[in-house]
Structure 1
Amino acid sequence: MPQFHWINEPAIWRNENDQLTVVTDGQTDFWRETWYGFTRFSGHFWGCEVQEDFTFQARIRADFHTLYDQAGIMFMVDEQHWLKAGIEYNDGQAAIGSVLTQGGSDWATGSFNGDARDFWMRLTLRDDCLRLQYSADGLIWPLLRLCRIVKTRRYQVGVMCCTPERAGLNVNFSEISLTPPNGKALHDLS
């Protein structure tokens, strides 16, 4: 496993027994301009550098209950080009969603049919395209998003969490893996 590092290291975290536990700082987020007019790059991101195509996967556990509580995975080119995805609490419930930022952010969200306190995320980069999947059980992996990303020689991929409206979301990341791209067909749900 490559060396992981923090962007916006939280005050409270530990990495032991192949599990990363984080307690979010207050008013943390990743967002650029759209709708709200502000830019934030204060969320917690624990990632590593990648230079080749890959599949990255993680299991995420947290108790989301305050507006915009969020945790999941993230792919980053730079502060203006990135993708974050996972569970985010909005409209009175935990929802699955993703934010693709290419200058400005977009946000796509939907219902999560599982226990949002325990879920998996998977991201595959192949030929400058990102295939984003999620799972409620670690076995079945529906497609959440397919998109192109800015081509460059180096990227960062890892896990993220944010709490724009508060501090104190306790998040556990486990089963973190970074492998060559899994080579599965687009609609292969395994």
Structure 2
Amino acid sequence: MSGTTPEPVDWSEGAWTAEPAEIRLDGSLFVTAAEGSDAWRRTAYGFVHDDAHGLCAPLAVGEAMEVSFRAPWNGQFDQAGVLVRVDAEHWVKAGVEYADRHLGLGAVVTDRSSDWSIGFVDDWIDAEITVRVSRWPDALIVRARADDGDWRLVRVAPFEESAVAEAGPFLAAPTRAGLTVEFTRWLRTAADASLH
């Protein structure tokens, strides 16, 4: 990607990995998750879910995807953020998830089986949250912030340089109907140049 100026990605540029229950465009993109939607493979729980709703467009080495959103976080495992997907067994979801009455910031990295890292960000519950995923030749770098706050490093995960990947906004509602996430921005920009 040339330059470092963020470029808006039009909502129509993406394709859904799984159709949401409802989509409405009114300045922002309002998306309602299907009840029971999720993304996970095997580890600890023993199940496979591959029906989280990702609106994905190509993500090349040297690029970053940045997504901003807000939602009424109140359902167990409500989640939203950025999905980076190669195929059903190789993907990363990064963002926030509401679990056990806490809002958590983290990532699930999947290479045939999933892992999960998370830390509480309860003070973000009413904020507009932005997640940025940068693609380096051998890694994905995940950062996030609330409103106009400082960026936090969330995760550094290995990622194959040769993989053909796509990325964009995602949401899922494993335990309930009616989760509607307002996605306010979707940007493509140059990947972060450093970790520090």
* 2:36 alignment counterpart: 27
Structure 2 residue 144 is the aligned partner of structure 1 residue 134: yes
Q: What displacement does 1:138 show?
A: 3.0
Do the aligned partners of 1:81 and 1:150 also contact (CA within 8 Å) in 2?
no
Aligned counterpart for 2:22 among listed residues 5, 8, 12: 12
Aligned counterpart for 1:102 among listed residues 108, 111, 123: 111
Structure 2 length normalisation: TM-score? Answer: 0.88
Q: What displacement does 1:16 show?
A: 4.5
* 1:145 alignment counterpart: 155
Counterpart Cα distance in 2 of 1:161 and 1:58: 12
Q: 1:153 to 1:107 in 2, by over 3 A?
A: closer
Q: What displacement does 1:49 show?
A: 1.6
Large movers: runs of 4+ above 4 Å: none
Do the aligned partners of 1:60 and 1:171 also contact (CA within 8 Å) in 2?
yes
Aligned counterpart for 1:80 among listed residues 48, 68, 89: 89
**Structure 1: runs of 5 or more not aligned:** none
Which amino acid is 1:120 matched to?
T
Tell me the alpha carbon deviations over residues 75-104 of structure 1, each in whole angstroms, 9 at most, x when there is no partner: 111110111011111122111111000110
Tell me the alpha carbon deviations over residues 129-166 of structure 1, each in whole angstroms, 9 at most, x when there is no partner: 11100101234101000011133342101011001111
Counterpart Cα distance in 2 of 1:156 and 1:128: 16
Aligned counterpart for 2:173 among listed residues 157, 163, 168: 163
Secondary structure of the residue aligned to 1:114 is helix
Counterpart Cα distance in 2 of 1:153 and 1:40: 22
The number of residue pairs the alignment matches comes to 185
* 2:48 alignment counterpart: 39
Secondary structure of the residue aligned to 1:186 is coil
Q: What displacement does 1:37 show?
A: 0.4
Do the aligned partners of 2:102 and 2:122 also contact (CA within 8 Å) in 1?
no
Superposed CA RMSD: 1.5
Do the aligned partners of 1:50 and 1:156 also contact (CA within 8 Å) in 2?
yes
Structure 1 length normalisation: TM-score? Answer: 0.91
Q: Which range is displaced more, 5-14 or 50-59?
A: 50-59
Q: What displacement does 1:33 show?
A: 0.3
Which amino acid is 1:172 matched to?
E
Q: What displacement does 1:181 show?
A: 1.8
Secondary structure of the residue aligned to 1:133 is strand
* 2:57 alignment counterpart: 48
